[in-house]
Amino acid sequence: MSAASRADRLSSAVTPPGALTDAQALAALFRITAPQERARAVHFCVLAALIACGAAFRFIGLGAVGLHGDEETMALAVRGILEGGAPYLPSGMLYPRGLTQLYLMAASVSLFGETSWALRLPSALCGVTLIPLAWLVGRRFLRPNWNLAFAAAIAFIPEVLIYSQTARMYVFMLACIAASMACLFAWERSGRSRWLVGAVAALIVGLDMHELTIAVAPLLLLPGLLRGDLRRMAAGSVALLVTTVAYIGVERWVGAQYPSLGAEFAATFGPEQPIGSTVRRDFASMFDLALWGAGVVLALLALNVARAVRGWAAAMASGVLLLAGLALQLALYYHLAALAYLAGAVLALRRGASPVGNRLVVLIAGLAALAAAHAMLLAPLAGTFIRTVGAMVGQPSVWPYVRVIQLSPAAGVAMLAAVAWGLWLFTRRRPLPDYWLLAVMGVWAPIFALGAFAWNVPSRYTSMSLIPMLLCAFAFAQQIIDALLERLHAQRAAIAAVAAALTALLVVNPVRAAAVWNAGYGFHPDHAGAADFMRSQGIVDEDIVLAEDVLQQTYYLGGVDYWLIGPDVARRFTMRRGGQVVDFYTGTPVIATPAMLDDLLQNNPQRRIFVIGSAEDRRDHRLSVRGPDLHEAIESDRFETIFVARDGRTRVMRATQRRAPPSILMRIESQQDAEELARGAASEATSGREPEPHRAHTPAPQE
């Protein structure tokens, strides 16, 4: 008898009959899709080839570009480790994230020297390791051919390639999640507790990489829920509790390392911009009355739907959900309203009599009319389509859904189709495929929770759900192809293999993969080139250097005089030190408003003032990072471009101001002082050099 069988018999013997019946009733909602076909030698050969090709894609061009993004944060922390044994940044702050990776990076730099290649080497190795880990995870839901396609997607999907060639912790987080899922499914198969311990340990290491790892911790409950096994449910709950306690400890320790900006200093940056939509609901009274009158009618329609539901409890639950959705919609919380409507409609369709479908159609038509009325009333107040949608959606934000789908649009669409198909099966009283629960617990729930804390996030902040999303997409595609082949009575093996390969191509998107792989400075910003140019300018103590990316230029130049950044960004990364507002990573004073920049220019009319620009966050030409006022000041004729880096976007600018503006001249107390100031400005104008803009054409130097 297998260990899993013995565990099942023991669970049946020690659990109360009523509880066991409830657990089995829950498990009866799902259909286990674990394949029985085992991998053959040819599959292992293909897997080895995928690992080799994936390694080539990760190592080719690994050191071809300088550091970018947040890599310099890691690199500065690595310097702290090599110099003092701990990851201290130039400001004296202990950098608390990704400690395991930081020490691996430090070991790599000790062996190979401080180059971008050495700093990224641990990420590349971890990215290669992720391929076989993904294959181990996929065995739970996918037959060998489809599992190889899943591993191929992990090997070549653009976002994973980028993470694998970046000295940041996201590929390590993915590897820890994959290792945890592999151990979890091994525990489901064997019932051996050591695999559950391994799953928890992998998640805790993942928490060291990034606290977002906690988002997939509920998957520890998955085996118990799918099998209807109370013993596994209890063990999974304990594992989840241990992981949650570890998360709280890590989160508090990490948070304790970050200083905060005092309120009086935050006020110097101006009022904080609100997150999300700022459109106020300012309708005329007659429109408000009309909307609430429509709400009364729609409430009667919702109750009419509930009347067609069989069973008092089901009818009550369906009616409450539909009415809650209506109240949320009227209050402009469309996201929550849609979820309440969906739950109420699914329950009504599952337990309703024949008229329920027609009544739902009438209700949906009325709700759509209400949504159209809201859109027409809000559009003039919002001004743009996106702001109108934001005003209607409310909290939690729906942007994280968009961001996770952007990781792989084809996989995202397939996963959404799988969720919708599962809900339809539920209404038809048919069992749901087990990967449907994986999609809900591993993708929808974490992304929903993320939207409750952040209005908009970069796609990388949703990457903790990438592996569950891809796995669900391939499992759904496998099921669809199997059903199609069965209906057509076609030969399964060859056609299914081709379908799996095509699915992998769609998920990977080869066009985007080709665009990001070994793209050099056509894709990455050239901070190193800008730093090289600055070194060529013979900077002296009298010169003033401002940088838009203070971390990058602190790493390459050893330090700059000021961090030039917009107030909304500055308030999140600054602290008080010696009466100044400084960046808490580098200790660099901050210039965050046009007034602060004006003071610097006016008080230093005879000094060379350089601004090292940035090609990071260039989608809106850095408008959102700088803020509109500071953006206008930087792009004004007060600065001239004297260098353009190899990426064609990173610029070095120099202040063109040669004399004090009228506001300064008015404060000059004597004509003699004014004449001396004018003579000094004229002397600098005739003797100072005015370099022509330079553009780098040489290839990137090997570090």
> Where residue 518 falls among pLDDT bands split at 50, 70, 90?
confident
Query: How many Å apart are CA 221 and CA 420, to the nearest integer?
Result: 22
* Residue 413, pLDDT score: 96
* Residue 286, pLDDT score: 79
Q: Give the burial string for 432-468 (b: 16+ CB within 10 Å, else e).
A: bbbbbbbbbbbbbbbbbebbeebbebeebbbbbbbbb
* Residue 26, pLDDT score: 80
The answer to whether residues 505 and 51 touch, using CB atoms and an 8 Å cutoff, is: no
Whether residue 429 sits in one domain with residue 555: no
User: Residues 468-478: pLDDT tens digits?
Assistant: 999 999 999 99
Is 5 among the domain residues?
A: no
Query: How many Å apart are CA 453 and CA 434, to the nearest integer?
Result: 29
Is 550 among the domain residues?
A: yes
Strand partners, 582: 575, 589
Assign 3-class secondary structure to 438-482.
HHHHHHHHHHHHHHHHCCCCCHHHHHHHHHHHHHHHHHHHHHHHH
Asked if the bond preceding 525 is cis, omega within 30° of 0, the reply is no
The answer to whether residues 203 and 243 touch, using CB atoms and an 8 Å cutoff, is: yes
Pairing relation of β-strands 651-655 and 639-644? antiparallel
Mean residue pLDDT across the chain: 87
> For the ranges 364-368, 385-389, 496-500, 533-537, which has the lowest average pLDDT?
385-389
pLDDT exceeding 70 applies to what percent of the chain? 87
Q: Which domain holds residue 320?
A: 272-510
* Residue 488, pLDDT score: 81
Return the closest-CA partner of residue 561 out of 604, 595, 594, 609.
609
User: Residues 400-443: pLDDT tens digits?
Assistant: 999 999 999 999 999 999 999 999 999 999 999 999 999 999 99
Neighbours of 250 (CB within 10 A): 20
Whether residue 193 sits in one domain with residue 56: yes
- pLDDT of 661 over the 80 cut: no
Q: What is the mean pLDDT of residues 19-36?
A: 80
- pLDDT of 387 over the 90 cut: no
> For the ranges 23-32, 344-353, 526-535, which has the lowest average pLDDT?
23-32
Higher pLDDT, residue 670 or 351: 351
Domain boundary residue, one of 205, 225, 256: 256
Whether residue 334 sits in one domain with residue 228: no
Whether residue 188 sits in one domain with residue 280: no
Is 22 among the domain residues?
A: no
Whether residue 211 sits in one domain with residue 355: no
Whether residue 536 sits in one domain with residue 500: no
* Residue 277, pLDDT score: 61
Is 244 among the domain residues?
A: yes
> Where residue 684 falls among pLDDT bands split at 50, 70, 90?
very low
Is 10 among the domain residues?
A: no
Query: How many Å apart are CA 467 and CA 182, to the nearest integer?
Result: 11
Whether residue 476 sits in one domain with residue 405: yes
Is 702 among the domain residues?
A: no
User: Residues 548-594: pLDDT tens digits?
Assistant: 999 999 999 999 999 999 988 888 888 888 878 899 999 999 999 99
Whether residue 277 sits in one domain with residue 425: yes
Is 124 among the domain residues?
A: yes
Tokens of 643: 């260098």
* Residue 354, pLDDT score: 81
User: Residues 228-255: pLDDT tens digits?
Assistant: 889 999 999 999 999 999 999 999 999 9
Whether residue 216 sits in one domain with residue 93: yes
- The top-scoring range by mean pLDDT among 465-479, 611-625, 664-678 is 465-479
> For the ranges 324-338, 435-449, 689-703, which has the lowest average pLDDT?
689-703
Hey, what long-range contacts does 338-346 have (CB within 8 A, 24 or more apart)?
A: 341/367, 342/423, 344/302, 344/305, 344/317, 344/318, 344/319, 344/320, 346/423, 346/426, 346/427
- pLDDT of 365 over the 50 cut: yes
Whether residue 664 sits in one domain with residue 603: yes
Domain boundary residue, one of 256, 291, 313: 256
- pLDDT of 692 over the 60 cut: no
Is 416 among the domain residues?
A: yes
- pLDDT of 691 over the 90 cut: no
Domain boundary residue, one of 476, 510, 544: 510
Whether residue 277 sits in one domain with residue 240: no
Higher pLDDT, residue 695 or 55: 55
* Residue 571, pLDDT score: 84
* Residue 62, pLDDT score: 94
Whether residue 671 sits in one domain with residue 635: yes
The pTM for the full model equals 0.88
> For the ranges 76-80, 123-127, 219-223, 669-673, which has the lowest average pLDDT?
669-673
- pLDDT of 305 over the 60 cut: yes
Tokens of 618: 């260039």
* Residue 269, pLDDT score: 62
Q: How many domains does the chain have?
A: 3
* Residue 678, pLDDT score: 47
* Residue 19, pLDDT score: 58
- The top-scoring range by mean pLDDT among 272-276, 496-500, 559-563 is 559-563
* Residue 645, pLDDT score: 94
